[in-house]
Structure 1
Amino acid sequence: MTGYADIPAILAVAPNGARKLPADYPNLPITPVELAREARLCCDAGASVIHLHVRDDNGGHSLDTGRYREAMAEIRQSVGDALLIQVTSEAVGIYNADQQMAMVRDLVPEAVSLAIREIAPEGGDEAKLATFCAFMREADIRPQFILYAPEDIARFADLVARGIIPGTGFPLLYVLGRYTVGQKSSPADLLGFLTSPVVREQPALVSNWMMCAFGQYENACAMAAIALGGHARIGFENNMALINGEMATNNAALIDQARRGVAMLGRKVATADMARKLLRPDW
Structure 2
Amino acid sequence: MTPLPKIMLAPNGARLTKADHPALPMTAAEILATTQACQALGVDGLHLHLRDQDGKHLLDAAAYADALTLFRAEMPGFPVQITTEAVGMYDPAHQRHIALNSGADMVSASIRELCRDDHDVTRAFYNDCHKRGFAVQHILYDVEDAELLTHVLEEKLLTAPELQLIFVLGRYAVGQKSDPKELDPFLDWLKQTGLSPDWAVCAFGPGETPALVRAVQAGGKCRIGFENSRQHADGSVATDNAERVAELVKACSEAV
Q: Is 1:12–1:47's contact at 8 Å kept on the other side of the alignment?
A: yes
Cα distance in 2 between the residues matched to 1:139 and 1:161? 16
Q: Is 1:43–1:79's contact at 8 Å kept on the other side of the alignment?
A: no
| TM-score in terms of structure 2 length | 0.91
AA aligned opposite 1:202: T
AA aligned opposite 2:39: C
What is residue 137 of structure 1 aligned with on the other side?
130
What is residue 276 of structure 1 aligned with on the other side?
none
| TM-score in terms of structure 1 length | 0.83
- How many residues are aligned here? 252
Cα distance in 2 between the residues matched to 1:251 and 1:181? 24
What is residue 49 of structure 2 aligned with on the other side?
53
Cα distance in 1 between the residues matched to 2:252 and 2:97? 37
1:242 pairs with 232, 238, 254, which one? Answer: 232
What is residue 203 of structure 2 aligned with on the other side?
213
2:217 pairs with 214, 222, 227, which one? Answer: 227
Deviation digits for residues 104-154 of structure 1 (CA, Å, limit 9, x no counterpart): 121131200110101123xx3233223322221122111100111111111
AA aligned opposite 1:168: A
What is residue 275 of structure 1 aligned with on the other side?
none
Cα distance in 2 between the residues matched to 1:28 and 1:230? 26
Q: Is 2:122–2:152's contact at 8 Å kept on the other side of the alignment?
A: no
Following superposition, which runs of at least 4 residues in structure 1 exceed 6 angstroms of deviation?
none
What is residue 33 of structure 1 aligned with on the other side?
29
Instruction: Give the deviation of 1:70 after TM superposition.
Output: 2.4
Unaligned runs of 5+ in 2: none
Cα distance in 1 between the residues matched to 2:141 and 2:224? 16
Unaligned runs of 5+ in 1: 1-7, 267-283
2:17 corresponds to 1:21: yes
Cα distance in 2 between the residues matched to 1:51 and 1:68? 12
Q: Is 2:68–2:103's contact at 8 Å kept on the other side of the alignment?
A: no
Secondary structure of the residue aligned to 2:177 is coil
2:97 corresponds to 1:106: no
Moved more, 246-255 or 37-46: 246-255
Instruction: Give the deviation of 1:161 after TM superposition.
Output: 4.9
Cα distance in 2 between the residues matched to 1:64 and 1:225? 32
2:67 corresponds to 1:74: no
